[in-house]
Amino acid sequence: MSLLEVDKINSYYGDSHILFDVSMRVEENEVVALLGRNGAGKSTTLKSLMGMVQTKSGTIRHNGTEVQHLPPYQLARRGIQLVPEERRVFGSITVQENLQLAAMSAERARSLDEIYETFPRLAERRRNRGKQLSGGEQQMLAIARAMIRNANIIMLDEPFEGLAPLIVRDLIEVCRRLAEAGNTIVIVEQNVRAALSLADRCYLINNGHMVFEGTPTQLQEDNSVIEKYLGVKV
Ligand SMILES: Nc1ncnc2c1ncn2[C@@H]1O[C@H](COP(=O)(O)OP(=O)(O)OP(=O)(O)O)[C@@H](O)[C@H]1O
C-alpha cells in the first residue's frame, strides 16, 4: 500500500475541467517531482490532494483510507501539508512564534529543538521577525512550519521560485536532509534540474493529463518527452 494513491481524479474550477483522470502514487520516504509547463495543472493537482479543489470523480487514498471528500483541515490533521507558492509567513511575529503558532494547530507537534536541528539557519534567526528574513529563509520557515505539524507528506509548490541560485542550492540541501531523515516530499518545480536532482521518481503533466511516470534517469534518457512537454533540455 502506498502512502498516497491517486486514482483517476477529475478536478474542475467551476465548469472548467482541469484534471483528466490523473493518477499518481507516493510511497513512504520518497521524493516525487511533479513537472509540467505553466498552466499544466501542477498546482491544481496539489490543491486537489489538499482538498482545496474538489474532485468530481476518482479516489485519493491516504494510508489506504479514501480521503477525497475530506476538508483541508482534516487532511492537514492526517499529516498532509502543503507549502503554497506564496509562502504566507507571518511578517510581524518572530521565527519562533511562527513555528509555535503552527505547532498549536497540530494534534502531535514536533519539538522546536528537532526543527532547529534540521534548520540551523532558523535557529540563528529565531528572534527575528518574519519580514526580516530573506526569501530563502522565509521558504525554510514555511517548510519548517509544515514539519513541526508532524507532516507525513510535505507538498512543496515551487519552493525555489524567485530565489537566487546560491539560495536554491541551500534549499536543495535542506530538502535533501529532510528526505534523508525519512520525510516524504512531493515537489512541484519549474526548475526541472533542481527538482530532478532531488527526486526518486517523477511525473509529467500536460494540459491536465499525466503523460510520463518514471525515474529522473528514465526521463533524462527520453529527450523527446522533455522537449515536447517541458520545452527545455536537462
Ligand atoms: N482559480 C482558478 N479558476 C479558474 N481556472 C484556474 C484557476 N486556477 C488555475 N486555473 C487554470 O487551471 C489550469 C491549471 O493551472 P495550475 O495553476 O494548476 O497550473 P500549474 O501547472 O501549476 O502552472 P503554474 O506553473 O503556472 O502555476 C490553467 O489553465 C489555469 O488557467
pLDDT number for residue 145? 93
> Would you say the CB of residue 16 lies under 6 angstroms from ligand 1?
yes
Residue 114's CB is within 10 A of a number of other CB atoms, namely 14
pLDDT tens across 119-135, in order?
A: 999 999 999 999 999 88
147 close to ligand 1 (CB < 6 Angstrom): no
| Secondary structure of residue 23 in the 3-state scheme | strand
Instruction: Determine the pLDDT at residue 41.
Output: 96
Q: Is residue 212 classed as helix, strand or coil in its secondary structure? A: strand
Residue at 54 is within a domain: yes
Least confident stretch, 10-14, 21-25, 65-69, 190-194: 190-194
Domain assignment present for residue 119? The answer is no
How does residue 226 score in pLDDT terms, banded at 50, 70 and 90?
Answer: confident
Q: What is the pLDDT of residue 234?
A: 62
Give the full edge-to-edge strand order of the sheet including 201-206: 80-83, 153-157, 185-188, 31-35, 201-206, 209-214
Cα dihedral 137/142/147/153 (nearest 10) = -120
> In this model, does residue 58 exceed pLDDT 70?
yes
Whole-angstrom distance, CA of residue 34 vs CA of residue 118: 24
225: nearest Cα among 204, 209, 196, 210: 204
pLDDT for 166 equals 87
> What pLDDT shows up at residue 212?
93
Structurally, the chain folds into a number of domains equal to 1
pLDDT of residue 29: 92
The protein residue whose alpha carbon is closest to atom 29 in ligand 1 is 39
Q: Is the per-residue pLDDT at 12 higher than 70?
A: yes
Residue nearest to atom 31 of ligand 1 (CA): 39
Residue 28 belongs to domain with CATH number? 3.40.50.300
- 131-156 b/e (C-beta count within 10 Å ≥ 16 → b): eebeebbbbbbbbbbbbbbbbbbbbb
pLDDT at 34: 97
Ligand 1, atom nearest to 36 Cα: 21
CA–centroid distance, residue 70 to ligand 1 (Å)? 22
* CA–CA dist 202, 36 (Å, integer): 11
CA distances from 72 to 20, 49, 224 (A): 22, 9, 38
Average pLDDT value for residue range 23-28: 96
pLDDT attached to residue 227: 83
Residue 75 near residue 107 (C-beta atoms within 8 A):
no
- Distance from C-alpha of 20 to C-alpha of 124, rounded to nearest angstrom: 45
Q: Looking at ligand 1, which atom is closest to the CA of residue 188?
A: 22
pLDDT, average across residues 65-75: 94
Q: Kindly give the distance from the C-alpha atom of residue 195 to the centroid of ligand 1, in angstroms, as a whole number.
A: 20
Quote the domain boundaries for residue 61: 1-79+155-162+188-234
pLDDT of residue 39: 92
Question: Is 117 among the domain residues?
Answer: no
Q: Averaged over 133-153, what is the pLDDT?
A: 91
